[in-house]
Amino acid sequence: MAFLSDRDIFEKRGVFFPNQNADFANTTLTGRLRSPQLQGSSYELRLGKEAYISGGKELVKLGPHPGNGVCEYILIEPGDFVMLMTLEKVEIPPEYMAFISIKTGFKNRGLVNISGFHVDPGYNGNLIFSVYNAGPSGIVIRYGEPVFIIFFAELTSEAAVPYEGGRDKIKSDEMNKLTGNSVSPFDLHDRISKLEHTTNLQWGLLAAATVGLLTIVFKALFV
């Protein structure tokens, strides 16, 4: 297995990204590569048209022009589980597979990928990422903003049983799995701190009541 370089990805752009030729329009292999998404050994994927946030919230429609139910960005609060769709559609031939990740800038803010980390040979469609905000503050992601990274690797031979099909939307059964209230580590810390404070207060009141009771008993016995 060998990973593809930027030159390889560029040369096979019509295979991996058959519907995104416009993204490579200003890219050249003479001198410096000018595509902002094409890196040394990877390609950046952008936030697409759908997202779903845990807690029973509605499916968020995203687009470049907000209005009529379409949003320009999403806000992922601490503790939220979210499903994000890529803007790009990818096609993985049977002799290749791909690996996916989140860009370092979003990782450093606490965004964690909790879905799969690879794309099977034969997959054809948008990618759906399940992510979790483990950071201390909300994370804003705009439509069309590069969030993910994909790497391509060539297999030693074609897959005998490649994946069939792909995705073009977030399914309702997947959204149902993310219903319910989310709790972040910071929420848990706050709740534990409040519980400790309440417990300490209760013990303090109990100790004061015990001392008062003992005082009354001793007075009754020795007076």
- pLDDT single digits (tens) 69-101: 899 999 999 989 999 999 999 999 999 999 999
Cα(46)–Cα(43) distance, integer angstroms: 10
Tell me the percentage of the chain whose pLDDT exceeds 90: 49
**73 and 171 inside one domain:** yes
**118 and 195 inside one domain:** no
The whole-number pLDDT of residue 95 equals 96
Query: Quick check: 148 and 128 in contact, CB under 8 A?
Result: no
Residue 133 pLDDT exceeds 80: yes
- Written as six digits, the tokens of 92 are 């993985």
**140 and 193 inside one domain:** no
CATH number of the domain residue 160 falls in: 2.70.40.10
Residue with tokens 């806000």: 75
Query: pTM surpassing 0.85?
Result: no
Query: Quick check: 130 and 82 in contact, CB under 8 A?
Result: yes
Task: Give the 3-state secondary structure of residue 56.
Answer: coil
Task: Give the 3-state secondary structure of residue 5.
Answer: coil
**48 and 6 inside one domain:** yes
**29 and 48 inside one domain:** yes
**131 and 213 inside one domain:** no
Q: Which residues contact 141 (CB under 8 A, 6 or more apart)?
A: 47, 73, 74, 76, 84, 106, 147
Note down the domain range covering 30.
2-176
pLDDT interval class at 1 (50, 70, 90) = confident
pLDDT interval class at 192 (50, 70, 90) = very low
**12 and 97 inside one domain:** yes
Cα–Cα separations (whole angstroms), residue 163 to 18, 91, 126, 167: 18, 11, 14, 12
**110 and 217 inside one domain:** no
**79 and 118 inside one domain:** yes
**128 and 34 inside one domain:** yes
**130 and 208 inside one domain:** no
Mean pLDDT confidence for 25-52: 78
Tally the domains of the chain.
2
**165 and 66 inside one domain:** yes
Pairing of strands 60-62, 70-71: parallel
